[in-house]
Every structure is written in structure tokens, then in C-alpha cells.
Amino acid sequence: MELFKKSEKLASDIESTENKIAELQQKLKELNERKKKEENLEIISMVRNSGLSLTDIAEIITSYSEKVSAETAEKLPLTDSDKPKGALSGNDK
């Protein structure tokens, strides 16, 4: 029937587009997985070529992680529960 041809065509286009999106999402997922595997291989290669012992590498990573955590904590605003008792917040008058 001529009356429903436009809506049927749109429904068909929607279904086709949804199928393409699903295929592209799967491709993106696979590419991200491949990228992560390649990055892991590069990291492993750098670590092996560094000549450092396992203990040295662990110490470096731990030290770096602690430094980053401390720097991040310094940037975070204090919440009311973190402030000393009796301290006024910006909204208290």
C-alpha cells in the first residue's frame, strides 16, 4: 500500500543503521582489545630491556603510585566531613 511505503522504508533504514552500528561497535571493541595487547607487549619489552631487577621495578612503580596518589589527594577539595570540627564552610555565616 502506498500509504505505508515511507514508514516501511524508514523502518528498514533504521534496522540497517542499527545493524551497521552493532558491527562497528564490535569492530571498535576488537580494535581496543588489540591495542591493549600491543601496549602490554611494548611495556613488557621496555621492562625486559631496562636491565632492572623485579624488586627494582616494583619499588619504582610503588614509589610512583604513592607520589601520584599524594598529588591527587592534594588537588581534591575537602568535604565537610574532612574539615576540622568547628570549621565554617563557605555557606555558613
DSSP letter string, 11-73: HHHHHHHHHHHHHHHHHHHHHHHHHHHHHHHHHHHHHHHH---HHHHHHHHHHHHHHHHHHHH
> What value does the mean pLDDT take over residues 45-68?
93
Residue pair 89/83 in contact by the 8 Å Cβ criterion: yes
**Pairwise CA distance, residues 28 & 22, whole Å:** 10
90, pLDDT greater than 60? no
8, pLDDT greater than 70? yes
pLDDT of residue 93: 44
Domain boundaries, the chain: 30-68
Supply φ then ψ for residue 18, to 5 degrees. Answer: -60, -40
